[in-house]
Structure formats: structure tokens, C-alpha cells
A and B are shown apart, each in its own frame.
Chain A
Amino acid sequence: MKLLTHNMLTSHVKGVTKGYPLLIKATEVKVNEVEFNPQFVSRMIPKLEWSALVQAAEEDLPGELVADYETNEEFLKKVHRILLEVEVLEGCLQCPESGREFPISRGIPNMLLNEDEA
């Protein structure tokens, strides 16, 4: 699971009002090399829940988006690395409100709910 995907995910447990950002508890993380495309990354940024990304990323990202980030190559590279190169292979995602844990196995989060949670 890449952090880009994590940014879109939310917990859907019954009764939860804001199920994101899910807390990442990783036991195995991989860093891949992905071709850097500055345009692609800069297009991605406005679509993100920025605060969720800041929380998830272990590197320090600015709490607010810098102005002119589109041209800030160093910034874009950082975002690129966090969003597209870091991959959680094993671990779980925890709902911030209910505490419910969704397992990640072989890079695949299993977000299925039980009958009573849906």
C-alpha cells in the first residue's frame, strides 16, 4: 500500500464520523524506485488530504502547502518519494475513532467489515 492510496482511505465502521486518517502500523515497509515525474506529482498534490499525508509521513513535511510548490523540485521530489516510493507491505491500518484494525498483507489492505460493523 502506497501512501497515496492511504491518503484516500477511510474507516467505514458503523458509527464513526471521521474515519481518517487511518493510523499506519507498519511491520514491513519497502522503498521502491519510481520514475520521478514532476508534473504528475504536482497535479496530485491538490487532490490530497494534506494534513493526513503530513501525519502519515515520517519525514517532516510542512503543515501547510508552500506557495509555488509546482516549481519547487526539491519539495516535489520529497512528496514523490513519500507518496509513490514508500510501500507498506505488512502491518495494519487503525481506525482513529473505533480503534478497529484493518490488516495489510502482501501490500494489500483488507478493509472488509464484519456483519455487525457495517
Chain B
Amino acid sequence: MVGTRFFLSKEEKKVIRKQIKASHTLLKHEGISTTPHPTESVVVANGGLGNGVSREELLSVLTEAEEVESLFMPPHKPYAFVTYRSVESARRALTQLNGQKLQSEENSITLYLSYVNSVTFEEEKSVPLPEGLVLVEEFVSPDEEAVLLAAIDWLSSNEDVTAQKSLKHRRVKHYGFEFRYDNNNVDKDKPLRAGLPDECLPVLERCVKSGLISIMPDQLTVNQYESGQGIPPHVDTHSAFEETIISLSLGAKTVMEFRHPDGRLVPVVLPGRSLLVMRGESRYLWTHGITPRKFDMVPACSPHSPASDLGTNRNLTLSKRGTRTSFTFRKIRHEPCCCAFPSTCDSQGAASAFSPSPSSPPSLPCCHADATRLEEEYVHRVYNAIASHFSSTRHSPWPSVCHFLSLLPAGSVLADVGCGNGKYLGVNPELITVGCDRSNALVQICVERGFQAFVSDALSVPLRTASCDACISIAVIHHFSTPERRLAAVRELTRILRPKGQALIYVWAFEQEYNKQRSKYLKEQIKDMQHISKGTNSKLSVHTNRTAFNTQDLLVPWHLKEGKKQGEEDSGENTKKDKKTSGNSLPVFHRYYHVFQQGELEQLCGQVAGVRVCRSYHDQGNWCVILEKD
């Protein structure tokens, strides 16, 4: 076993003793059987990830002796398995390395090698692919692959030919629409003369038939990567393309890395002739990229193991990169993106496509157009997305509002401008009620409940002048982002009232505590912060739910959950407990609010001719007025 001498030195005896001890430990604690008979496989005790030895460190020691065919280092274990090309090679390695010291960090580790009959390892839970990601192997045949590759005429590309030849950059060609790298978006108004190459049609038809896509893509980007080329991690611009993105890999395989904002990394092997389908999180939230490398670590392919499965620690080998060409098919998006991932969504305020940075905060608008855009992104888009969850948290009508409604004479015509889920439309059945809201999703809920409602803007209510006996606007006007728009909203309420008609308006109060009474919105132990920060810049800050306000214009988070849950009444904003249990992947929406200071609502209404404030009060964190038309 050790050397050819018959007599062993003291040192050699010591090594043998320790080696045997190590073997016993392996058997007893790890269930690994060693054998005195030479085999190709060797277990290296003390050479494991579990005792702080890195793969690089171990490999450098091992390769000093014999060439290693494969090295398997089970995570968290204090040993590793080495396979050699031949039994002879293993013998030589064992002779040379047994008792070898290895310097790892500050520790000096002694390696003990023993033969094993088989390399055993636990079947590990493989790292799941990002949500929405599907890989279909062998999607095209080698013949089809050849046809597709031949269809690309690189020389006729508009791009600078010298830039291509420098090999610093991968080659790119676009069809259908030009993708611009200066703003990571598409020139939707300038379709390219040539559409998608005809050769792509069979592949696309196959995608539709397999149910992988439902709409035919109208944009194609062909990327050609030589060994050593890659593409930095990025999220495909939400506003440029519809959800589903399909990418066909031709030529050599590569490893694409998906990164989640929370730091998780999932490497995915993309074999040649495979099709990658990105939807949901994998499309909107995870970044994807290809590290510029000449070699990738890929599993030693066995016929049964999925090539994409880099998560398990099977025998990994190095795969030399070859030229890979990808065909990425996308459908141009013409409406703004309203996905559930605002942090990476440029339609919803996110900054760059190249990193999932937190939303670039919007500024307070200085003109009507900006205001419309702000409200579209931070009010209307959000309510449409959260409608069902929002509705489930708005189930109890506020008593004071009900009181107002109950005092109205039977047969009164009531308009609820900004009716939301119709919470107040049925409170007094003696009334003729109609609701309107900006959110189609919320209006649908009203109609489902049997109420009459329509979709409209509170700044232009399509009701006849003086057609209503009364109207209510509960938690609506605080969503308008300029004083002019807030005033216009009050004017509309006044216009639709008949003479002597009354309007009830509720808006969120800056002062959440009034007359020593804390509103239900605030958490018990939070101290009051009455300081109003006007801010040195006009950027809107994100509010911390259930705390006092420190600025009047802000974004209030909404943590989306499934509808039908019993949530908090006042605003649906979660308690800390809910926040803890919700995972990283729950989308958060930001709604714009202008919270009113004491007296501000009255002052606003005072600017409207033909109407007077007959009552003004504070109710559960809201400033309220009752107006009467002359």
C-alpha cells in the first residue's frame, strides 16, 4: 500500500494509522465504505468543502500527483471523491498524496486517501429554475439548425463591420424592429423593412402548436457569441416587449446565469438546438446574462441527467465554449407594461434595464401632462392591478358616511365619484345610486355585485349638470397630484349637484392623530412626527405603512396578496406580521397620495363658486367636508 519497502518508518506508520482512523470515521458517520483493494476512485478525507477546503485548493494539490478525471466535493462534507483514469493512476496518486499536508487559509490540513468501490452521494435537491422559465431540448433538428444559421447574412448588417471583427463584442442583427442599445428600447414607429426571415416560420409555428406562445412574435434579435464573449446581466425592457420571450440556441452550448434581486443565482445550461421560454418572474424580475468565458462548468452528461440541471453536485466537468448563435423572438408591446414587478418595470418607474434597481422615484408634477402620467402609473395602473385584493380589504362602510347617506330622502339620486368596489352603493336602498371609478377592474366588481357603475375620470364626470341630489367622494381627491386637479375634482362634484344638493368629501389627513385620538391606521407604539418635510428636491419618497406622515406628497406601498383575504380595513396596508411572512417575491405597488393638512380641504372647497362648506370634521385619519350647492 505504501511504497515497496517491507519496513515502514515511524512516520509512515503514523500516516497509516490515521488513514485507517479516517476510513472508520467515514464509514461510521458518512456511510462510506473504503476498500484496501485499489480502484479508480479515491476518497480524500479532510479534503472537503465542509472543512473549508476549496475546490481550487484541492485540485492544485491533486494535480501535482496525477491527472484527475473528476472531482466531486459534496457540499458541507469533510471529504471529496476523486476519480482517476486508471487504477494505476489512482495507486500512484494515493502513494504520493496520502498524508499530504495542504495549506488552507491559516490551517494546515492533512489529507488521507483511501480507495472506494463507488462514489456515493446524496441525491440533492436541485436548485429550481426561476419561476416561469422553461427549457425545451432538441427543439430543432440539426438540419433545421443549419438552415437557420445559413439564413443570417452577417455581411449585409447595417452595423459597423470593423466592430464585429474586433471580436471584443458579440455580433448582433435585428429583424422586424430595431432594438436600440442607447435606451434599451425598440423604435416602435420604425419597423425594419425586412420582417422576420421566412426560415424562422416553421420554428415559430412549432412554438405556437406546442402552446409555448400564443401570439406570433414580430421582432427577432440574432446574437452570435464566440468563446470568451457574453452579455451582461439584464432584464429585457418591460415596455418594449410583451411577456413571453423565446430564445433558440444554435451551435455550441453555453451557461446562462439567472440572478434574483435577493442574490440567488441559478446557472442554466442551454444546449445547442434547445429553446428557452421566459415568462413571469424569469422574464420580468430575474436578470439573465452570459459571463464572457472560454470554459463553463457543466455536469458530466449522462443520458438521464437533464443537462440544464447544474443545481445538483454530480460530476462536473469543464466544457469548452464554441460559437453559439441565439435567435430571440419577441412581440413588440404597444401598451405600457402593467406587470406585478414594478421594481424592474420601466412603465412603472424603474430606472434601468440592466439591474433590478428599486424604482427611480418620480417627482412632483409641474404640469398637467406630467400629472396625468404620474397618476396613470401610481394610481390607475396600481388599482387595476390590485383590484381584487383591494376590494377584499374594503368591506366595512364607514359609519359617518353611512350616516350621511341615511339622511338623504328616499328616491334621492346619489353619485359616488370614485366608488371603488361599490362599498357605499348599496348602503341606502331607498336611493337611486350610480357609481363611477377610473379603474375598470373595480367597476367590474361593482357591476358583479349588482350595482350600476361606469368607468370615467373624476375630472370629467359624464353626468348631466345638476342631475344629482347628492354625491360622495370618499378617499379619491388625495390621488390627484396638483392643487389645480384637486380643485377641478371638487368643481365637478359641485357641477353635478342640483341646487341645495350636498356633497360629502373624504381625503386622507396628514395628521393621523387628532384630539389625542390615534387613527386605526397608525401602529400603537409609533411616536407622532408632525414635522412636515417640504424636501430639498421634489422627489417623492416612499412612506412606511402605518406610521405618521412626514411629507404631504408621497408614495404609499401596497403589498399584494390574493384577494378574498381579511386584511386591514382602513387602507389595506399590512401589519408588520404580514410583512414578515410574505416572501421576497411578493410584488409591492406604490400609490401616489397628497395627504391634506388641517384646513386644506376647506380652503380648497372655498375656491369653488356657488358652494359652501356646511360641515367640516376629522374622521379616522381623514379630513371631511360636507358641501352644499347654492
Contact = CB atoms under 8 A, between A and B. Distances in A.
Contacts of A113: 457, 460
B454 A110 contact: yes
B456 interface: yes
B455 A108 contact: yes
A86 interface: no
Interface of A: 1-2, 4-5, 8-12, 19-20, 39-40, 43-44, 47, 49, 106-113, 115, 118
A39 B410 CA distance: 10
Nearest to A11: B462
Given A9-B464, A44-B432, A110-B454, 13 more contacts: A8-B467, A8-B468, A9-B462, A10-B462, A20-B464, A43-B411, A47-B467, A108-B443, A108-B453, A108-B454, A108-B455, A109-B454, A115-B372
Given A8-B467, A108-B444, A44 B460 contact: no
A5 B434 contact: yes
B413 interface: yes
5 contacts: A40-B411, A108-B453, A113-B457, A113-B460, A118-B459
Contacts of B415: 8
Contact of B460 (A12, A39, A40): A12
B215 interface: no
A40 B432 CA distance: 9
The size class of the interface chain B forms with chain A is 20 to 34
A81 B392 CA distance: 33
B413 A47 contact: yes
B501 to A, nearest CB: 12
B455 A10 contact: no
7 closest cross-chain pairs (CB), A and B: A43-B411, A111-B456, A111-B462, A109-B454, A110-B455, A5-B452, A10-B464
B604 interface: no
A65 B114 CA distance: 106
A47 B463 CA distance: 13
A12 B444 contact: no
Nearest to A14: B460
A118 B454 contact: no
B353 to A, nearest CB: 27
A91 B464 CA distance: 21
Given A10-B463, A106-B444, A4 B432 contact: yes
Nearest to A40: B411
Interface string B548-585: 00000000000000000000000000000000000000
B455 A112 contact: yes
A9 B496 CA distance: 11
Nearest to A115: B372
A52 B21 CA distance: 100
Given A107-B447, A108-B443, A108-B444, A8 B456 contact: no
A107 to B, nearest CB: 5
A66 B434 CA distance: 27
A109 B459 CA distance: 17
Given A8-B413, A118-B460, A108 B440 contact: yes
Contacts of A49: 464, 467
A109 B438 CA distance: 12
